[in-house]
Amino acid sequence: MNIIDEQLNSGVFKINLSGRMDIAGVAQIEAKFEGMTAAPRMAIVVDMSEVPYMSSIGIRALLMNAKAVRRRGGKFALLSPQPDVKMVLETSGIDQLISVCSNLDEAVSKVIS
Amino acid sequence: MSQWLNAAFRHLKLPEILLFKFDLCANEAVTNIISYAFPENGIHEISLRMSFINLVASLEIEDDGIPFNPLDAPQHIQPASLEEAKIGGLGIDLIRHLMDECTYARHNGRNVLKMIVNVPKIEHSPVASPYNQH
């Protein structure tokens, strides 16, 4: 997997993930992912549009980071998951815990409100 | 394993739309087996067999580990908030949700997990034999 960070003008910190979010994929990015969601960042959008596959290990990575951000009062949203990945988020009920948005404007408004 | 499953799908002329489901459930099941069925480590064998007969797509996963029935895991309870969400335990829950039927049996000292999806409609009639990997 690949992970790229992007500071948006709105003050939102965007993290772009790409590749299969399976055991091997998550192992490649988890340390960087954790670093990118660390303080002082309070408004984080994770772009999932380039992730074609996600297993429970991927859910775990998203949950851990979302929980860490929430614990210090920050906000965390997911952007544009592909249909199969969206189905996994819905099946596991993660979409009830973390905002899942279909466009950037919506995601930005979720995390800066 | 994902590449093998891809080849099995082509070989059996299974509908492409089911590939993601089976890929995910195979990964979750094998991850669970590696985590729980082999406490003494060492060399073990996990074999997979994908079949498609009479509109039933079935993936059988067999291992030579200690008795381990993943279907015994308690049903996942949806947490009310992100704060309450526990990390982990989601793999078997995904399998339960995505498959139409799952069975577990202990046969000849081996765990046999069978995961089934009933295929409502098909475009091609399958004629091929099951696809195996050891």
Q: Which residue has the higher pLDDT, B98 or B134?
A: B98
How many angstroms separate the CA atoms of B115 and B105, rounded? 12
Which pLDDT band holds residue B127 (cuts at 50, 70, 90)?
low
How many angstroms separate the CA atoms of A3 and A19, rounded? 9
Closest CA to A1 of A15, A22, A34: A22
Which pLDDT band holds residue B124 (cuts at 50, 70, 90)?
low
Q: State whether residue B3 sits within 8 Å of chain A by CB.
A: no
pLDDT given at position B7:
97
| Residue in chain B nearest A52 by alpha carbon | B20
In the predicted structure, residue A7 carries a pLDDT above the cut 80: yes
How many angstroms separate the CA atoms of A7 and B51, rounded? 48
Residues in chain B with CB shorter than 8 Å from the CB of A56 are 28, 31, 88, 90-91, 94
Q: What ipTM was reported for this prediction? A: 0.85
Distance to chain A for B91, nearest Cα, Å: 5
pTM of the model: 0.89
Residues in chain B with CB shorter than 8 Å from the CB of A20 are 2
The two counts, helices (H) then strands (E), for chain B are: 3, 5
Count of CB atoms situated within 10 Å of the CB of A61: 23
Residues in chain A with CB shorter than 8 Å from the CB of B23 are 53
First-to-last CA distance in chain A?
A: 30
Q: What is the mean pLDDT of residues A8-36?
A: 96
With tokens 């993930």, the residue in question is A17
